[in-house]
Structures are given as C-alpha cells and as structure tokens.
Structure 1
Amino acid sequence: MSSRVAKLAAVYREHLSVPWQAGLAAIQRVIFAVYDKADELRLRANVGEFELATQQAGKQWLLLDLTNAFPEWMALQEYRDAYFESPEDMAGYQAGELTEFVADLTAKLKVRISDEAGPDTVVALLGVGALFGLARVSSVVEGIKESVQGRLLVFFPGEHHPENHTYRLLDARDGWNYLAVPLLAQE
C-alpha cells in the first residue's frame, strides 16, 4: 500500500474511532476521503483496508462502485448510436452534466441504499472520477445523502481547500463549496 493511501486509511480508522453522534443532519454524515488522482489504482487495490477498518469499528460496509454507471446507463438508451454521432443532441445536458443520467443514477443508488444499508452502515462511493464531464459529484451526493442513515464515504480523487471548503474533482474543474467532513492523508 502506498504511504499516502496508508495514511488516508489511518485517518479514516481514527475518524471511525469516535462514536457516531445521533441526530446529525445529512450533510454532517458525509465524509470525503480526498486523495491524489495519481493514487486511484493504489486506493482501489487497498479499498479492503477501509472495509476492514469499518468492520473493526463495529459498523457495516456497503461499497457502491460508480465506475461503470454511465456506460451501463448509455447501453440502455434507445438512441445511443445517434448520441455517439452527435453527443450535443443528448437530452438533459445542462451546466456540465447529463441531468437524466444523474436522476437515474441517484434513483438506483437510493434503492440499493434503502435495501442494503442501515443506521450503522458506511455507504462508500468509489469511482466518482468516472463521472467527470457527465455528472457533478455534488449532485450525486445531494441526491442520495438523505437516504444514508449511517455515513456516506466518498472516495474523492482531487483536492480540498479548507479555507473555503472547496472540492475539485481530478484537480481539473472549478470546485464547489461543500461542508462534508474532509479526510486527508497528511504529508
């Protein structure tokens, strides 16, 4: 395990050592595990360390991998061939995201969460980098956060700027202000 990913796992383990406070607002139950985009494969190879830390803390673990969410959604679209010829014709593309895709994705995630997660579950989102240019991570988090009774852990390849709570996905797009709890591997 790379030292940065190991440090992030240690920070996560320490975060879980604090008893969960009841009655928190949904935004206060969201955790962003922020890591360098260059560590994506290392993090994926070691995601089991986060699951183990969760289980050792007496909590349940539900991993939701979004890596293939868009290709799976696109495969179900009746006019997919036409979209590939003229992507600008896709319905629902507004402000940097496909709103129909986001709505479908959040609906599917909410069903999984409601079926498989309880108040002692960490729901972990992996593969959010694959949403770049298609959906805003903030839209997905906003769409599902109320469904998560325990904690929502977002593995986030990018940056966090603490002075204004700004997150930047893949260090490449203008960030957004979000009040989730950031976990960072300290250098």
Structure 2
Amino acid sequence: MSSRVETLLAVYGRHLTVPWQTGLAAIQRVMFAVYDKSDELRLRANIEAFELATRQAGKQWLLLDVTDAFPDWMMAQDYRDAYFECPEDLAGYPAGELTEFMADLIQRLKPRLLNEAGPETVVALFGVGALFGLARVSMLVDGLKDAVPGRLLVFFPGDYHPETHSYRLLDARDGWNYLAVPLLAKD
C-alpha cells in the first residue's frame, strides 16, 4: 500500500470514530475520499482495508463499483453496433451528460440501496473515474444521496480545493462546488 493510500485510510478511519449525527440533510452525509489519480491501482488493490476499517468502527459496508457501468449499459442498447461503427453519433450529447445512461445507472443502483443499506451503512461508490467524459460524478451523487440512509463515501480520483469547496475529477475537468466532507491524503 502506498503512503498516500495508507494516509487516506487513516483519515477515513479517524472520521469513522466521530459519532454519526441523525437528522442530517443528505448532502451532509456524503464524504469524498480524494486521492491522486496515480494511486488508482493501489487503492483498488487495497479497497478491502477500507471495508475492514468500516466494520471495525461498527458500521456496515456496501460497495458499488461503477467502473463497468457504461460498457454494461452500452451492450444493452439496441443501437450499440451503430454506435461502435460511428461513435460520433454519441456527439449529440453535451460533454459529460449522457443523461439516459446516468438515469439508467441511478435506477439500477437504487434498489441495492433500498435492500442492502441501513442507517449504519457506508455506501462506497467506487470507479467514478470511468465516468470521465461520459457523465458527471455530481449527477450520480445527486441522484443517489437521498436514497442512502447512512453515509455515502465517494472514492474520487482528482483533487479538492478548500477555498472554493470544488472538486476536479482526474485533475482535468473544471471543478464543481460540492459541500461534501472531504477526506484528503496529504504526504
């Protein structure tokens, strides 16, 4: 495990020691575990350590990995072959806003939240870097946050700017303001 991933795990573990308040707005129950994009593979190799820290804190863990969400969605489309032959047909969507895909993804994830997540569950959203250029992470978080009864933890490869409360996915897209709790790994 790299020192930055170890640091992020320690920050997350300390955050879990704070008793959870009840009655918080959905946005106040969202955490962003911000890490350097170069640590993606190290984080993937050590995701079980975050689950272990969650369980040791007396909380439940539900991992939602969206890494393959777009390929899975595309394979279910009737016109997928046409899109593969002529990918510029997808250019009709505004950058980062494949709304049909996002609506489908949210609808596929919500039943898991309703069936598997309780008020003491950390729902870990993983693989959001795979959404880059297709959909905005903020759209996904906004679509799920109200359905998460416990806490939503978004593993976010990018950076956070505290002066503006803005997050930038993969350090490449203009950031957006989001009032989630940032968990940061500093060397």
TM category (shorter chain) comes to over 0.9
**Structure 1 position 173 matched with structure 2 position 160:** no
- Secondary structure at the residue paired with 1:55? helix
Residue 32 of structure 1 corresponds to 32
Query: TM-score scaled to structure 2, two decimals?
Result: 0.97
Stretches (4+) displaced over 2 A: 85-92
**Structure 1 position 149 matched with structure 2 position 149:** yes
Q: CA shift at 1:183, angstroms?
A: 0.2
Q: Which residue identity lines up with residue 8 of structure 1 in the other structure?
A: L
Residue 104 of structure 2 corresponds to 104
RMSD (CA atoms): 1.2
Q: Which runs of 5+ in 2 are unaligned?
A: none
Q: Which residue identity lines up with residue 160 of structure 1 in the other structure?
A: Y
Determine if contact 1:92/1:99 at 8 Å carries over to the other structure.
Answer: no
Q: CA shift at 1:92, angstroms?
A: 7.2
Aligned-residue sequence identity (percent) comes to 76
In 2, the alpha carbon distance for the partners of 1:91 and 1:185 equals 36
Q: Which runs of 5+ in 1 are unaligned?
A: none
Determine if contact 2:95/2:134 at 8 Å carries over to the other structure.
Answer: no
Q: Which residue identity lines up with residue 172 of structure 2 in the other structure?
A: A
In 2, the alpha carbon distance for the partners of 1:50 and 1:138 equals 22
Residue 83 of structure 2 corresponds to 83
Q: CA shift at 1:91, angstroms?
A: 8.8
Residue 113 of structure 1 corresponds to 113
Question: Relative to 1, partners in 2 of residues 1:107 and 1:56: Cα closer, same or farther, differing over 3 Å?
Answer: same
Residue 53 of structure 1 corresponds to 53
**Structure 1 position 72 matched with structure 2 position 101:** no
Residue 138 of structure 1 corresponds to 138
In 1, the alpha carbon distance for the partners of 2:84 and 2:5 equals 37
Residue 159 of structure 1 corresponds to 159
Determine if contact 2:95/2:133 at 8 Å carries over to the other structure.
Answer: no
In 2, the alpha carbon distance for the partners of 1:113 and 1:47 equals 19
Q: CA shift at 1:97, angstroms?
A: 1.8
- Length, aligned pairs only: 187
Residue 11 of structure 2 corresponds to 11
Deviations 1:34-66 (A, max 9, x none): 000000000011111110110011000000101
